[in-house]
Amino acid sequence: MAFFRTVSFSEPLPTIEGEGVYLRAPQMSDYSEWTSLRGTSRAFLTPWEPTWPADDLSRGAFRRRLRRYAEDQRGDTSYAFFLFRKDDDALVGGLTLANVRRGVAQAGSLGYWIGEPFARRGLMTGAVQALVPFGFGSLRLHRLEAACIPTNTASIRLLEKAGFVREGYAREYLCINGSWQDHLLFGCVSGGRP
């Protein structure tokens, strides 16, 4: 049955165009810009992310990250993108469609981060709005999910603006910044139905 067929990209991921932004697969040549942005944004990102490994910003860790991205893509379990501003090709953040489930679910989980200098400028909203059609079209997913800490009002607004609907509350859902955090759960389904 075609509905249950796995989709994977053996070739590089396509570049996805959005409002003022574009998304493309991470490359080793992005290392310097990525490590600089992540390093200067560390205090801004720490409350919303898992604890960073000690060597997280090292070249070796970045190389391992790229290998994992490629392996996950080949296995149809995760698709990682870096986010760039169209005006000047500046790296501003990243998005991942992860935890892809096939079979009767046909679903994936959206995660994202943006560097502090680029936050609250609509860039991530443009990116999420561009990535959703890729998930539903190219990946043939039926459902996209996202979760955020209840105090992250910017993320809540972003998800709602991108068409996600709040569906629930999960206690101690993810280990963020070293402790288990409650999360609001959001979903978006193909065809736009809540």
Q: Where in the chain are the domains?
A: 13-141
Q: What's the token pair of residue 178?
A: 């070293």
CATH value of 13-141 in 3.40.50.2000, 3.40.630.30, 1.10.4190.10, 3.10.50.30: 3.40.630.30
pLDDT tops 70 at residue 56: yes
**With a threshold of 0.75, does the pTM exceed it?**
yes
Average pLDDT on 67-90 reads 96
Contact 44, 58 (CB under 8 A): no
pLDDT above 90 for 6: no
Cα 193 from chain centre: 22
Q: Give the chain's mean pLDDT.
A: 93
* % of the chain beyond a pLDDT of 70: 93
| Per-residue pLDDT at 194 exceeds 60 | no
